Amino acid sequence: MAIEIEKPSVGLSKVAVSETHGEDSPYFAGWKAYDENPYNESSNPSGVIQMGLAENQVSFDLLEKYLEEHSEASSWGKGAPGFRENALFQDYHGLKSFRQAMANFMEQIRGGRARFDPDRIVLTAGATAANELLTFILADPGDALLVPTPYYPGFDRDLRWRTGVKIVPIHCDSSNNFQVTPEAMEAAYRCAESMNLKVRGILITNPSNPLGATIQRTVLEQILDFATNKNIHLVSDEIYSGSTFSSSEFISIAEVLETRGYKDSERVHIVYSLSKDLGLPGFRVGTIYSYNDKVVTTARRMSSFTLISSQTQHLLACMLSNKEFSENYIKTNRERLTRRYDMIINGLKTAGIECLKGNAGLFCWMNLSPLLEEPTRESELALWKVILNEVRLNISPGSSCHCSEPGWFRVCFANMSEQTLEVALKRIHKLMEQRRRRN
């Protein structure tokens, strides 16, 4: 039995003792409230409804149907042919058939308007790992990446924690639907310079989390031009590219490069994942697609720290190379997400709540600024606490996404049944009625 030793606690790294893992943000506190009192239609109808988790649960039946009809993907259960090769396979190039399938899938999502070379696909265990890995490659500790606000709270950890790289926000506001502008990019760049930070790149999420909207072509062009002028990298996290409500409205940076003849494309890198579009976050499937050979080679070597399970690569290679399945999935998934979106937008509208006009993603960006006591972050958090504890909905406050305008909230709608969504909408109606009566 070890003696209790009266010593100062033994030294850990600075990384270990820092708070840059970001888990102390309200973003995660809401989950705690949910975990302690989770809604259940029958057993806990007054529990907290989870609307802070961007998961896609609307299309599982399509996946299950595929599996039931295609035993080759589940071949281990019935004779295990190919098991040992698969179990041994740890080549960081990844299963060729899987890379091919991913490249095809990415092309299909973009309606064939861009081509993807399977040999440029680097596999990582989730987009979380992909974004961190790219940051390690593109920037040194102490350097900065420019990121438009509001942005996914996880970026604070993924881009900064172990890399030592800083995020300098590009401020966006509702005056132009939170779109990035050249002025805002310049301002962020100057801000970084004034802090003596070397800017190495700009990272955008398209479609945007938390806005739930795609970036317009002109804006993409401006962002690419900006990156070119400053001679920095452009990372486009396109994790929600398959979750657009209409196939034509999403424009990938790949398409912009295509129209430019891939001139100067070596500064562009795309991150993708199956966690949102296919609803498979547990499987840890992320990819980096880079137009820069050295980045591809280095990323591939670095992926040794975060490879995708060969078992999972095998399963998904089978599934995604089935064109009939993938085409039908993309189409059906889009339709169902659109339906959900319409449902929540209309429900909120009748409650008197406006949202940013969205066209993608698993969430909507809700404007509750009229309800704020004062246009401040504190007021926003106070309102958030009321919604969490009294209305019992876990939604994400805009401040946790670094939104500079208080009063906006991200509300997820694809991680629950339609019935649960109805219940959530009813509760919101009630809240709004109460507020109206009070006034």
Partner 1 sequence: MEFTRNNNRQLLSKVATNNRHGENTPYFEGWKAYDSNPFHPTQNPQGVIQMGLAENQLCFDLIEKWLLENPDASICTAEGIDRFRDIAIFQDYHGLKEFREGVAKLMGRVGGNRVKFDPNRIVMSGGATGANETVMFCLADPGDAFLVPSPYYAAFARDLRWRTGLEIVPVDCKSSNNFRITRAALEEAYEEAQRSNINVKGVIIANPSNPLGTVLDKETMRSLVSFINDKSIHLVCDEIYAATVFGSPRFISVAEIIQDMDCNRDLIHIVYSLSKDMGLPGFRVGIVYSFNDCVMNCARKMSSFGLVSSQTQFLLAAMLNDEEFVGNFLRESSKRLAKRHHVFTKGLERIGISTLKSNAGLFFWMDMRPLLKEQTVQAEIELWRVIINKVKLNVSPGSSFQCSEPGWFRVCFANMDDETVQVALERIREFVHQGKEEDGVSEKSKHWRKQNLRLSFSSSRLYNESLMSPHMISPHSPIPQSPLVRART
Binder to partner 1 among 32, 115, 301, 349 (CB under 8 A)?
301
Give how many residues touch partner 1 by CB under 8 A: 94
Piece in contact with partner 1 (CB under 8 A), picked from 167-175, 206-214, 275-283, 349-357: 275-283
Q: How far is the CB of 381 from partner 1 (least distance, A)?
A: 24
* Contact status, residue 320 vs residue 100, Cβ threshold 8 Å: no
Q: What is the DSSP string of 324-384?
A: HHHHHHHHHHHHHHHHHHHHHHHHHHHTT-EE----BSSEEEEE-GGG-SSSSHHHHHHHH
Binder to partner 1 among 25, 208, 252, 275 (CB under 8 A)?
275
Give the end-to-end CA distance of the chain in Å, rounded to a whole number: 65
82 binds partner 1 (CB under 8 A): yes
| Residues labelled catalytic | 152, 237, 239, 276
Decide whether 89 or 113 has the Cβ nearer to partner 1.
Answer: 89
What tokens appear for 259 in the block?
């129209």
Hunting for tokens 């599982």 — which residue is that? 60
43 binds partner 1 (CB under 8 A): no
Q: Give the span between the Cα atoms of 227 and 234, in whole angstroms.
A: 6
Helix 323-350 with 96-109: angle, nearest 10 deg: 50
Decide whether 21 or 429 has the Cβ nearer to partner 1.
Answer: 21
Question: Please, which of residues 90-149 interact with partner 1 by CB under 8 A?
Answer: 90-93, 96-97, 119, 125-126, 128-129, 132, 136-141, 143
Q: How far is the CB of 141 from partner 1 (least distance, A)?
A: 7
Q: Give the span between the Cα atoms of 213 and 357, in whole angstroms.
A: 7
433 binds partner 1 (CB under 8 A): no
Decide whether 301 or 349 has the Cβ nearer to partner 1.
Answer: 301
Question: Please, which of residues 183-202 interact with partner 1 by CB under 8 A?
Answer: 200
Binder to partner 1 among 222, 228, 359, 379 (CB under 8 A)?
228
Q: Give the span between the Cα atoms of 123 and 39, in whole angstroms.
A: 36
Q: Residues with Cβ < 8 Å from 318, sequence gap 6 or more?
A: 70, 72, 73
Piece in contact with partner 1 (CB under 8 A), picked from 63-71, 145-153, 211-219, 367-375: 63-71
Piece in contact with partner 1 (CB under 8 A), picked from 213-221, 260-268, 353-361, 419-427: 260-268
Helix 293-302 with 127-138: angle, nearest 10 deg: 120
Q: How far is the CB of 306 from partner 1 (least distance, A)?
A: 4
* Contact status, residue 155 vs residue 203, Cβ threshold 8 Å: yes
Build a one-symbol-per-residue string for 379-418: x at contacts with partner 1 by CB under 8 A, - elsewhere. Answer: ----------------------------------------
